Amino acid sequence: MEFLAGRRLRRTRASAWSRSLVRETVLTPADLIWPLFIIDGQNERTQIKTMPGVERLSVDLAVEAARQAAAEGIPALALFPNTQDERRSENAEEAYNPDNLMCRALSAIKEAVPEIGLIADVALDEYSSDGQDGLVRDGQILNDETVHVMIRSALVQAAAGADIIAPSDMMDGRVGAIRAVLDAEGFEDRQIMSYAAKYASAYYGPFREAVGSGTRLKGDKRTYQMDYANSDEALREVAQDLEEGADTVMVKPGMPYLDIVRRVRTEFNVPVFVYQVSGEYAMIEFAAAAGAINREASILESLYAFKRAGASGILTYYALEMARKLNA
């Protein structure tokens, strides 16, 4: 058998030191954002049955988690409250209560660990009695009325210490409206990380359990979250949010949408973040528990895939564990 003279692409893969030298993609703790679920109480933690190893934390324990994250070089946390049942309502008024669970967590972490960035989720599913991201009237999701509530929610979050406001609802026009009000109220330095391409996905199930919206959800979210059959539409969504003032954009979920991450990064050349969502986490955990895959190797491979696709950063429940491994 004849071979082309001199061509041996395997040479650079033959040893660990050589693979390290020619590696194209680098993953560090600075690429990771750690999502935390917050609950009421003191020294309280509760397990999430569909997300083995992930817990809801009371504010004091979230502060300790923030200290651990900062010590490992994780740059930011993303906070998600599991609002008490008695504080949920049809009009989601708790979203703009300055003493709500989210605001108390933001204030406590910012005071104790000022060097870590705090990303505040802005959507109504964590406060509404029906589990939808927007206000509902006669079965319809109200766009503009929802945006008005989100503006008020973003303001109390900014005042409480949020560094990044992250609207995750997919209502039209919310980025521009939030940007205008933040600027008018003296919060010009607060970033907006828009969930610009958020798909109506089956992979969100465990998250909805974590924040307490799953069992109360009526209907679905396909009238405002994106159709997973569409790709060009994601570019239109991103373009609109950037035009309205988004500083960074996000693609959600992660692994099934690597093509969207790459298209957004190539088309706009802006910081693109990706969320390795609860269903992706659960698949790795349950497959590893069944002996079907190597857990640690699968986690690392997935994180490198996000970076390779063009992600500037990754929201992942593995952030602390992987930061510790990368620092070892």
Report pLDDT for 2.
Answer: 60
Share of the chain above pLDDT 90, in %: 91
| Residue 18 is assigned to a structural domain of this protein | no
Tokens of 212: 């307490």
Domains held by the chain: number: 1
* Rounded mean pLDDT, 209-217: 77
Could you report the per-residue pLDDT of 117-143, keeping only the tens digit for each? Answer: 999 999 999 999 888 999 999 989 999
Is residue 218 predicted with pLDDT exceeding 90? no
Cβ(126)–Cβ(81) under 8 Å?
A: yes
Residue type, 110: K
| Residue 150 is assigned to a structural domain of this protein | yes
| Residue 196 is assigned to a structural domain of this protein | yes
| Residue 267 is assigned to a structural domain of this protein | yes
Report pLDDT for 217.
Answer: 75
Asked whether the bond before 206 is cis by omega within 30 degrees of 0, the reply is no
| Residue 1 is assigned to a structural domain of this protein | no
- The Cα–Cα gap between 114 and 14 comes to 45
- Strand ranges in the chain using DSSP code E only, listed in sequence order: 32-39, 45-47, 55-58, 76-81, 117-122, 135-137, 140-142, 164-167, 191-198, 248-252, 272-275, 313-315
Report pLDDT for 1.
Answer: 54
Report pLDDT for 7.
Answer: 80
The CATH number for 175's domain is 3.20.20.70
HSE-CB at 327 with a 13 A cutoff on CA atoms is 17
Q: Identify the residue whose tokens are 């990380």.
A: 193
Q: Computed over its alpha carbons, how large is the radius of gyration of the chain?
A: 20
Report pLDDT for 20.
Answer: 94
Q: Identify the residue whose tokens are 């999430």.
A: 48
Is residue 213 predicted with pLDDT exceeding 80? no
The range of the structural domain enclosing residue 133 comes to 26-327
Q: Which residues contact 16 (CB under 8 A, 6 or more apart)?
A: none
Annotated binding site for Mg(2+): 237
Report pLDDT for 309.
Answer: 98
Could you report the per-residue pLDDT of 8-21, keeping only the tens digit for each? Answer: 889 999 999 999 99
Count other Cβ atoms within 10 Å, centred on residue 122. 27
Report pLDDT for 4.
Answer: 61
What are the backbone angles phi and psi of residue 38, rounded to the nearest 5°? -110, 135
- The Cα–Cα gap between 301 and 308 comes to 10
| Residue 249 is assigned to a structural domain of this protein | yes
Count other Cβ atoms within 10 Å, centred on residue 23. 11
Give the strand pairing for 272-275 and 248-252.
Answer: parallel
Query: Among 99-103, 116-120, 125-129, 283-287, whose mean pLDDT is lowest?
Result: 125-129
Annotated binding site: 237
Catalytic residues: 198, 252
| Residue 5 is assigned to a structural domain of this protein | no
This model's pTM is above 0.85: yes
108: confidence class by pLDDT, cuts 50, 70, 90: very high
Calculate the CA dihedral of residues 127, 130, 132, 134 and round it to 10 degrees.
-70
DSSP designation for 94? G
| Residue 180 is assigned to a structural domain of this protein | yes
Could you report the per-residue pLDDT of 295-305, keeping only the tens digit for each? Answer: 999 999 999 99
- The Cα–Cα gap between 27 and 73 comes to 12
Cβ(281)–Cβ(54) under 8 Å?
A: yes
Q: Identify the residue whose tokens are 């910081």.
A: 271
Distance of CA 302 to the CA centre of its chain: 16
DSSP designation for 15? S
| Residue 326 to residues 28, 108, 150, 300, Cα–Cα distance (Å) | 7, 28, 37, 10
Could you report the per-residue pLDDT of 156-182, keeping only the tens digit for each? Answer: 999 999 999 999 999 999 999 999 999
Three-state DSSP class for 85?
Answer: helix
